[in-house]
Structure 1
Amino acid sequence: MSIPYAPVLPAATRERLLGGVVVQCAMDEEVAPFLERTEALGEPFDFGRARFHPRVHEGRALLVVRSGIGLVNAAGAATSALAAAEPRALISAGSAGGLRADVEVGDLAIGESYTYTDADATAFGYERGQVPGMPERYRAAPALLEAARALEPEGGRHLVGQMLAGGSFVTAANVKDTREAFPDAVSTDMETTAIAQVADSTGVDFLSLRGISDLCGPRADQDFHMAVEVVAARSAAAALAVIAASRA
């Protein structure tokens, strides 16, 4: 039995998408601002648990993907999207939890490096966050990162640094261990590093831009939550600006 691992697109749609950019989010609320700011290139379609939206923005073809939440959903959707569109770049967008003590809701986390929150093979000599046999950290593509650094903040600040992802939510109850293990990490979510690993294994340029919607361990004087729709819109605006500026 043949098991498909990528959607079969209409020939005209696939031709337009080839060499474009894949933008991947976990939730429909995170995809929505991309759909508002871009034009349809074809009909949306489902494959597995993911939904794919062929779009175009300022002449650049985009495949906007809603993967579902979690590392496996993220990796599966990214793999299918790369096979379907053969893009030049892959961008992770949407929302994240603020981890470092100085992060505020509404800030934009720009990933310079990526690792796993809950991968721990230190007993065998690996770094915390490193999957055995894989790199200690995955890195953002220099051109995409440079374009992101040059953006003017809209709303919150732009914070460049390490981003984490794992299979568990980081909350005030368990944030202490994560902060001790990754003192410089800006944010954590449940998809980014899995997408970075797929991009790294296929040689596709990668960057993650995520708005901070909540704080993993807020201080008493901090707001700890902002609507996903608000931070997702900031993430989308930044992602589209990076794509335009870098000509990814």
Structure 2
Amino acid sequence: MTTPSPAPVLVMVAMPEEAAPLESRLDGARALPTPFVDDAGMRSVRAVAGLLGGTPTVVVTTGIGIAAASAAATWAILEHRPTCVVAAGSCGGLAADVEVGTVIVGDAFTWSLADATAFGYEPGQVPGSPARLEADDDWADVAERAAGAAGTAVRRGLMLSGDAFVTAPLADPMRERFPGALSADMETTATARTAAALGVPFVALRAVSDLCGPAAGQQFHMELDLVAEISARAVEQLVRELPA
């Protein structure tokens, strides 16, 4: 009789640069087959399995954007039946006082560009969906604690996602629509929505690489490889703190 393999932690990133420090931490790392191909016939979603801090983990590089994240997350969750899904990598800092290098732990997620307010919905709310996707408090607590233990600045709050880079001209209107929002990226809410639909716990640990409309005197950019390393350290610590 074959003993079933324990369910892995599923870590989702958008870009190979974000995956690199996570994959380098995997003991026994091995590439997994995926069903995805792009228009040129090259595989567009990468999955690598191994042990992260002694815990079975699958790191999936999804590609950039809502559609890419949704497709990859759906496949990965159904294929690997993970204990939890973790969004990692980089994000843009939206809150006026956030600093580059800070790890953002999401406790709520919504769409930055969705607007059905003419029909009575809240900013960011897609009809038929909740105004906010809420993180489980216990999981968010563990993520926040892990990020702090990894030795980085941590903020916890609302994360936005949409298929547009939040440049300086977009930042102030977005802050007005979403008071208290900490960050913006192009994948987290899609992954959170997919995890919720499939009944899997979800947390986000993304580090700020750029500021969306920085104030005078703020450092506004950190290289992607440095930010990816910060996020990877926080994810590794999170995995170590998960119950056995």
Tell me the TM-score normalized by structure 2: 0.91
Q: CA deviation at 1:46?
A: 4.0
Counting matched residue pairs gives 235
Pair 1:23-2:19 in alignment: no
2:51 to 46, 51, 56: 56
3-state SS, counterpart of residue 225 of structure 1: coil
Q: Which residue matches 1:199?
A: 195
Structure 1 gap segments, 5+ residues each: 1-11
2:156 to 160, 165, 171: 160
What pairs up with 1:1-248 in 2 under 5 angstroms?
Answer: 15-16=4-5, 18-48=6-36, 49-151=44-146, 152=148, 154=150, 156-247=152-243
Please give the alpha-carbon distance, in whole angstroms, between the structure 1 residues aligned to 2:159 and 2:230: 17
Cα RMSD over matched residues? 1.8
Over residues 74-104 of structure 1, what are the superposed CA-to-partner deviations in whole Å (9 max), with x where a residue is unaligned? 0000000001101110000000000000001
Structure 2 gap segments, 5+ residues each: 37-43
1:131 partner letter: V
3-state SS, counterpart of residue 46 of structure 2: strand
Please give the alpha-carbon distance, in whole angstroms, between the structure 2 residues aligned to 1:173 and 1:193: 22
Report if the CA contact (8 A) 1:144-1:242 is conserved: no
Please give the alpha-carbon distance, in whole angstroms, between the structure 2 residues aligned to 1:225 and 1:62: 30
Report if the CA contact (8 A) 2:52-2:239 is conserved: no
Q: CA deviation at 1:143?
A: 2.6
Over residues 18-59 of structure 1, what are the superposed CA-to-partner deviations in whole Å (9 max), with x where a residue is unaligned? 521110000000000111111135334343121111121233
Please give the alpha-carbon distance, in whole angstroms, between the structure 1 residues aligned to 2:19 and 2:35: 16
1:135 partner letter: P
Report if the CA contact (8 A) 2:84-2:202 is conserved: yes
Please give the alpha-carbon distance, in whole angstroms, between the structure 1 residues aligned to 2:177 and 2:78: 35
Report if the CA contact (8 A) 1:106-1:155 is conserved: no
Identity %: 42
1:196 partner letter: A
Report if the CA contact (8 A) 2:157-2:181 is conserved: yes
Please give the alpha-carbon distance, in whole angstroms, between the structure 2 residues aligned to 1:174 and 1:108: 22
Report if the CA contact (8 A) 2:104-2:206 is conserved: yes
Q: Which residue matches 1:6?
A: none
